Structure 1
C-alpha cells in the first residue's frame, strides 16, 4: 500500500520531533500552503513541536504587497501564529541569488537554538536545481542539489517534501480546497529556473516522461557520492589539522606538508571540505591560486584571495583570514587603568597578569625598527624576533605593543617577549575570535 502524504511527512520529520519549535516558511504559494495545512492538521492528532509560520516579504513586485494579508488569513484559519518579515534584497548581478540571501538572513533571525525551519521545495524543484547547476558546470557538491537538511546559525533548515512530486501536492490542495498565491514572476522566462520549468522540462517530459523522477534520483546518488568525498576529506585533514603554535590566535589553519603528500585531486577535495564553512568556494579556474600558494618558496608568504577572505601561507602552515580581519584601528590607545583589560578597537583585548608596571602606558602598532629588551638576551630587533617566533606575517601588523613613553616594554603572548625586566608581569593579547571576524 502506497504511504500517504501525511505518513511520508511524519517519517521525514522524525529526527526533529523533539525540536523546541517548528517554523514554516510560508510564501502563500502551493508548496508552502500544502506544508502548512499538513502540519496544522497533524498537530491535532500528533504531539509536535510548537508550530508557527513566517512570511518573508521581499518587496520586489507590487503584487506581493497583497500577499501578507492572504497569508495572515490562512494562518488565522488554521490557528497558526504568523510573523511577517520585510527584507532588503541587495542589488547585484543575480536577483535570484540576492533574494535567496535575504531569505536565509530572515531564516537565521527567526530560528532559535535547536529550532527547525521547514521549507516546501519538492521533487520537481530538485530536478530543476540539478539541471540548472549542471548547465553552470557545477561539481559533485553542487550537483547533489538540495539536501533534505542543512544547518542554520542556531538551528536547522529541513525540506520535508523533497521526495514528493508537485502533482501530488496539487492533488492534496484540490482535495482540501486550499487557496494559494500564484506568483506572476514565476512565469517570467528571463529567470533561469522559469525558463527550465516552462520551456525545457515540457520538451524533456514529452520524450522522457520520468525525467523529473530520474533527475531527482541522480541528485540522491550524487549526494551519496559527496558524502563519501566528505569522509575522505576528513581522513585527509586529520594529519594536516595539527595544533597551531599560537593557540591564543583564533584563526583556522592547517599544516601544509601532509596536504602536499596527497594527489592534486585529494588536495582540492580536502580544501573544499575545510573551506566550505568559511567562504564561498572558488570555481575550477580559480584553483590555480592554490597551486601558486602551495608551491611558492618558503619565505614568500603568498596569499590566495577568495570570496570571503584569503588563505595565507607562513612557512609550512596555511592560515584562513576572514575578509573583516583587517578592519581595525591602528591608532595609539592610552591605557589609563592597566589593572583592567584594555579593549582594542576591532582588535580584541589586552590584559596584564601579575604586577602592573608603573607610569603612563600606551599601546601602539608596528612602524618598523622597534627594539625590545629581552630578559637574558639584551636589546633585540623586534622584526628578527618575530621571524624567529614564526608568527604569521599577516598578524604582525595588528600585534599590540606596550610602550612607556618611547620605551617598548613588551610584546604580548609570545614566549620570551611578554615578561617585565624582573619577570613579575606578563602581557596577554586575546584577538577577536573567528566568529567576530565572520559575517
Structure 2
C-alpha cells in the first residue's frame, strides 16, 4: 500500500522532530499551501509558524499578504510578513531568491528549521536548467533535501512528491491558493522549461520528470564521494600556519601539488565553497597561474568574494573585507589599555608599558628599527627574513613615539630586548569580525 501524503511528509521530517521550531516559507501558492495545511493538521511536531516574503515586484502581489494572513488565521498558525527590496541585476529571479533567503535568515534561531515546498517537478527543472548552463557535478545535484541555514536548517520535505499529488490533496481538502501570474511568463527560464520544454519531454518520455529527479539523487551521491575525497586530500594540506596569530584560512601548497589537476580542483572547490562563489571551469586557469608562479613571486587569484594569495609555499584566502580598513594614523595616549584599530583588530602592550603618548602608523617605506644585538635595521629586510606574507605587511601597526619607530608587533626575529620589559602584540581582525 502506497504511503499517504501526510505519512510521506512526516517520514521526511523525522530527523528534525526535536528542533526548537519549524518555520514554513509560505508564498500562498499551491505547494506551500498544501505544506502548511499538512503540518497544521499534524500532531506532536515542534512549534509551527509561517513566513511570507513580499518582494513588491508586481501589483498583484500587494493582495497576497492578506490572503496568507487569512489562511494562517484559519489554521491557527502564526504568520510573519516580511517586505524586502530586490536589488536590480542581470537575473531578477536570482535577486528575488537572494532577498528571500536573506529574510529567512532573520527569523531563524539556533537549530530551527525553515521548510520550503519545492516538489519533484521543481527538482527536475532545476537539474535540466543547470545542465543547460554547463554546471559541474555539484551544480547537477540540484536542490539538496537539507542544508545549513543561519545556525539552523533549510529542509525541502516534498522533493519526492509530485505536483499531481499536491494538486489532488488541495482539491480533496478544498484549499484556496494564489495563482502567481508571473509563473506563466516564459521569458523566465524556469517557466520556459515548465511550459514549453517539459510538456514535449513527457509526451515522448512519460517518466522524464521522475528519472531526472532520480539522476539528481545519483549525482548527489557522487558529489558526496568527491567531498569525502576532498576532505582526505585537505587533511595533508591543512598544516599549521607559521603565523598562528594570522586568522585567515590557508593551506600548504606542496601537498596539493602532489595531486592530479582534477583532485586539486576538487579539493579547492571543497575548501573554497564556504568562503566564496566558485568560478566556472574557464576561470580555473587562475589557479594554475598562481600554483606555477616563481617561488619568489606573490601571485593572487581574484574570485567573486575575495582573493587567493600565494606566499612562498602556502596559499591564503583573503575575503573582500580584508582591504576594508583605515591606514590613517591613530593616537594612543594611554598604552596601559588596549587600542582598537579601525577595521584592523586590537593592539596591546604586554608587560610594563613605556611612558607615552604614542601614535600608531602604517608602513610608508624606508622604516628602520633598533634590533637587540643587531643595531638599526631596515624594516623591510626584517620582514623578509621573518617571512611575513606580503599581503599583511601594509596592515602591520607600527608604534611611534614622535618620529621614532619604537616597535612592531611581536614576530619572529622582531622582539624587544628583554630588558625593556614589554612587547607589542597585535590581534588582527578575526573571521568572525567580518573576514569570512
TM-score band w.r.t. shorter chain = over 0.9
Give me the whole-angstrom Cα distance separating, in 1, the residues matched to 2:132 and 2:244: 44
Q: Residue 213 of structure 1 aligns with which residue?
A: 210
Q: Residue 107 of structure 1 aligns with which residue?
A: 104
Q: Residue 3 of structure 2 aligns with which residue?
A: 3
Q: Residue 320 of structure 2 aligns with which residue?
A: 323
Q: Residue 19 of structure 1 aligns with which residue?
A: 19
Whether 2:378 is the aligned partner of 1:389: answer no
Does the C-alpha gap of structure 1 residues 438 and 425 become closer, same or farther in structure 2, counting only changes over 3 Å? closer
Give me the whole-angstrom Cα distance separating, in 1, the residues matched to 2:285 and 2:245: 32
Q: Residue 137 of structure 2 aligns with which residue?
A: 140
Q: Residue 181 of structure 1 aligns with which residue?
A: 178
Q: Residue 32 of structure 2 aligns with which residue?
A: 32
Whether 2:272 is the aligned partner of 1:301: answer no
- What displacement does 1:415 show? 2.9
8 Å CA contact 2:108–2:114 kept in 1: the answer is yes
Give me the whole-angstrom Cα distance separating, in 2, the residues matched to 1:310 and 1:413: 26
**Residues 72-91 of structure 1: pairs in structure 2 closer than 5 A:** 72-91=69-88
- What displacement does 1:180 show? 0.5
Q: Residue 351 of structure 1 aligns with which residue?
A: 348
Paired positions, count: 436
Q: Deviations over 1:185-226 (max 9, x none)?
A: 000000000000000000000000000000000000000000
Give me the whole-angstrom Cα distance separating, in 1, the residues matched to 2:100 and 2:410: 42
- What displacement does 1:302 show? 0.2
Q: Secondary structure at the match of 1:422?
A: helix
Whether 2:57 is the aligned partner of 1:60: answer yes
8 Å CA contact 1:141–1:223 kept in 2: the answer is yes
Q: Deviations over 1:368-415 (max 9, x none)?
A: 011111223221111111111111111110111111111111111313
Q: Deviations over 1:134-177 (max 9, x none)?
A: 00000000000000011112111000101100100111111111
- What displacement does 1:419 show? 2.8
Give me the whole-angstrom Cα distance separating, in 2, the residues matched to 1:354 and 1:438: 29
- What displacement does 1:438 show? 4.6
Q: Residue 276 of structure 1 aligns with which residue?
A: 273
Find the partner of 1:197 among 179, 191, 194. Answer: 194
Give me the whole-angstrom Cα distance separating, in 2, the residues matched to 1:403 and 1:438: 27
Q: Deviations over 1:99-142 (max 9, x none)?
A: 11111111111111111100000000000000000000000000
Give me the whole-angstrom Cα distance separating, in 2, the residues matched to 1:194 and 1:438: 38
Q: Residue 230 of structure 2 aligns with which residue?
A: 233
8 Å CA contact 2:367–2:380 kept in 1: the answer is yes
8 Å CA contact 1:418–1:428 kept in 2: the answer is no
8 Å CA contact 2:334–2:356 kept in 1: the answer is no
Task: Provide the aligned C-alpha RMSD in A.
Answer: 1.0
8 Å CA contact 1:409–1:420 kept in 2: the answer is no
Whether 2:245 is the aligned partner of 1:248: answer yes
- What displacement does 1:245 show? 1.1
Q: Deviations over 1:335-369 (max 9, x none)?
A: 11211111111111111111011121110000001
Of the structure 1 ranges 335-344 and 122-131, higher mean CA displacement relative to structure 2 is found in 335-344
Find the partner of 1:377 among 365, 374, 399. Answer: 374
8 Å CA contact 2:249–2:317 kept in 1: the answer is yes
Q: Name segments (4+ residues, structure 1) moved above 6 Å.
A: none
Q: Secondary structure at the match of 1:372?
A: strand
Give me the whole-angstrom Cα distance separating, in 2, the residues matched to 1:436 and 1:91: 28
- What displacement does 1:421 show? 6.2
8 Å CA contact 2:333–2:356 kept in 1: the answer is no
8 Å CA contact 2:298–2:309 kept in 1: the answer is yes
Whether 2:352 is the aligned partner of 1:367: answer no
Give me the whole-angstrom Cα distance separating, in 1, the residues matched to 2:68 and 2:435: 34
Q: Deviations over 1:52-111 (max 9, x none)?
A: 110001111111110000000001011111001111111110111111111111111111
Give me the whole-angstrom Cα distance separating, in 1, the residues matched to 2:423 and 2:40: 61
Q: Residue 423 of structure 2 aligns with which residue?
A: 426
Give me the whole-angstrom Cα distance separating, in 2, the residues matched to 1:32 and 1:418: 63
TM-score, L = length of structure 1: 0.98
8 Å CA contact 2:335–2:356 kept in 1: the answer is no
Give me the whole-angstrom Cα distance separating, in 2, the residues matched to 1:331 and 1:270: 39
Q: Residue 96 of structure 1 aligns with which residue?
A: 93
Give me the whole-angstrom Cα distance separating, in 2, the residues matched to 1:237 and 1:274: 8
Does the C-alpha gap of structure 1 residues 381 and 438 become closer, same or farther in structure 2, counting only changes over 3 Å? closer
8 Å CA contact 2:185–2:191 kept in 1: the answer is yes
